[in-house]
Amino acid sequence: MLWLRHVTPSIVAAVRPDAVEALTNPVFNKALRWYYAVMRDERPAKFMIARSVQVDEDPARLDEDGLWSLHREAEKRFYSLLREVEREDLGYLEFRRRYGDAKPSFLDVKIEIAYWILKICRFCEFRCRVGRSGSRGLGVCRLGRVTYVHSWFHHMGEEAPLVPSGTIFYGGCNFRCVYCQNWDISQVEPFAGAPVDARQLAIIQRELRINGARNINHVGGEPTPNIHTILESFRYLDVNVPQLWNSNFYMSTEAMELLKHVIDIWLPDFKYGNDRCALRLSKVPRYFEVVTRNLRIAAENGDMIIRHLVLPNHIECCSKNVLRWIADNLPRERVLVNIMDQYRPEHLVVKNPERYRDMARRPSRRELEEVYSYADKLGLLWRDISR
């Protein structure tokens, strides 16, 4: 993995010339129109817009039901302001000059709701309903209130339009993938990272942006259990930067409601084409229903690059089902698909190759070619974006 603390345009040109070319690629410019505009400061990021939407009641005085009702009202104003931004071609600076921060704001409502959810946690579809007030929790992800960051840097290995990507690796995950490449921070030692609060997280994002990041890439582990800290960090973030959600997409409907007005570009990991493989390899129930539901919501609320990691011996049951679902259900001209070939046996697959015999090798060239030609047959936008 190649990464840098500070990046300049000449470093990007030397290390990832395709990231420079991506800026003028017509397919990317069309599919990622909003993301590119925020990246260039030609639009305010969505979290900035949410911060400018006034609400009429003090969120701190409401219970969760009252907050959701206030959220529904503020949502209408948010979309109206978003339309105005587009209609009047408002760049970031002009937007901030006209609007500034509302007090209290739509973002404040979201933050307050997130802390209510944390008390009986429903950030993801495991819906553990555990209180997460301590530093460690009793839910599937084992996380409490504290957010742990294991590293943050300019990632030069992501998809070309994203590089350099200001990536923040959170500890902990709700999945138990038997082949996880980040098993140390996601499953074994999620607490070994640095505990950060919302202000510190905002400083990290600021540093990444002013030193060259095209976006802030929330990843892990999994960012979902940390939604409360991430949303609150937007209250303190004073630079314009696209927010990118790099996730297994197992968020609850409530979490999607909180995220969909503040995330500019989604980077879902759509691995499995059926529930049986998801349960066996990641210990996740109801996978297909939950992830496809969230993909539909995300496609209506931001730009998207879907990642699909080709798994050996899972071409018919997973790769083809995933690609077919995308082609049948999402707008093909707006959704980019990264078909990833870098699977390698890791973690429990290495420890117990007999049990996971199907997963104990890399995908073959024949399997990859079969997936590529299937994506072509479906008319998906994948060629420019896959590396």
**CA–CA dist 96, 101 (Å, integer):** 8
CB of 131 to ligand SF4, least distance (A): 10
Nearer to ligand SF4, 44 or 137 (CB): 137
CB of 125 to ligand SF4, least distance (A): 8
Nearer to ligand SF4, 127 or 235 (CB): 127
Which residue, among 337, 317, 318, has the nearest Cα to 378 in the 3D structure?
337
Q: Any bridge partners for residue 357, and if so which?
A: none
Which residue, among 261, 196, 270, has the nearest Cα to 230 in the 3D structure?
196
Nearer to ligand SF4, 106 or 123 (CB): 123
Nearer to ligand SF4, 143 or 318 (CB): 143
CB of 137 to ligand SF4, least distance (A): 6
Nearer to ligand SF4, 121 or 263 (CB): 121
CB of 260 to ligand SF4, least distance (A): 18
Nearer to ligand SF4, 246 or 338 (CB): 246
Residues that bind ligand SF4 (CB under 6 A): 121-124, 126-128, 130, 137, 139-141, 143, 174, 224-225
CB of 171 to ligand SF4, least distance (A): 12
Which single residue is written with the structure tokens 């959600």?
A: 245
The residue of the chain with the least Cβ separation from ligand SF4 equals: 139
Nearer to ligand SF4, 176 or 320 (CB): 176
Residue 217 phi, psi (nearest 5) = -105, 100
CB of 251 to ligand SF4, least distance (A): 9
CB of 221 to ligand SF4, least distance (A): 11
Nearer to ligand SF4, 137 or 161 (CB): 137
Q: Which two tokens stand for residue 67?
A: 């907050």
CB of 250 to ligand SF4, least distance (A): 8
CB of 20 to ligand SF4, least distance (A): 38
Number of Cα atoms under 13 Å in the Cβ half of residue 213: 29
Cα 124 to Cα 140, 155, 171, 196: the distances in Å are 10, 26, 16, 21
CB of 57 to ligand SF4, least distance (A): 27
Nearer to ligand SF4, 124 or 162 (CB): 124
Nearer to ligand SF4, 130 or 339 (CB): 130
